[in-house]
Amino acid sequence: MIVDGISKVGAYALFASDCVRSAVTHGVPWDRVMDESYKVGIRSFPVLFTMALFVGSNLAIQGYAAFSTLGAGNLVGMFVALAGVREVCPLLAATMVAAKAGTEMAAQLAVMRTKEQIDAIEVMAIDPRSELVAPSILAVMLTLPALTVFTIFVSLVASLAVAVLQLGVDTGEYLSFLVGYLTAYDLFAATLKSVFFGVIIATVSGYFGFFSERGARGVGQATNRAVVTMCIVIITLNFALTSILYG
């Protein structure tokens, strides 16, 4: 089992490196990059807005509940800045994109493998990695940082509204602690995390879709394995990046 797992990690690493090498050698069709960016970015806005709205609200409620027992309920702005911006929002955007766009990428490639369309592309002397996978990698790398910033903004506005209107926290105190603890480095770290998360989402979904078994069962297995693997790797990578950036 361990040997099989190591071999799969090695196969994934070779696939990811082949995608990068193929993109550099053969170029990337930028029209496909724009199409994938639209799928990943614009189509994700409604879902991400709803999730960020309620996550920001929950952060305010939980932060106030924790600090109010110590008589420091006005520190909720600090809690949102530290927990929300540094950790929750980058993970929220990444897992949502993985669940929505990542599974779509894996399923699309798996269907193309079943219909032998990938084989047809190879017969035409076109590298399917540069044609099908590389545009997705660039698209997610470009759009996920923007989605992360959007998530941060929505969650901060939602937490401010809940803190002031529902919990009775003074607006000036909330903003004072938020601005006091939120730095440009935190925003840089959040967007940097999203770039790495984007690479993981695109390459993992591409790997499972590209090497899926043929048939409807293979498509389902590829999609399921892709989303589970993406979430596990993203959470693990987040720990490593947080240790490096804030350790």
Q: Are 224 and 167 in contact (CB under 8 A)?
A: no
Residue-range domain boundaries for the chain: 28-246
Residue with tokens 């540094």: 86
Model confidence pLDDT, tens digit, residues 118-132: 888 888 888 888 888
Residue type, 62: Q
Question: Rounded to whole angstroms, how far apart are CA atoms 104 and 99?
Answer: 8
**Residue-wise over 143-180: b if at least 16 C-beta within 10 A, else e?**
bbbebbbbbbebbbebbbebbbeebebeeebbeebbee
pTM for the full model?
0.91
The token pair that represents 108 in the structure block: 């699309």
Model confidence pLDDT, tens digit, residues 131-152: 888 898 899 999 999 999 999 9
Q: What pLDDT shows up at residue 1?
A: 66
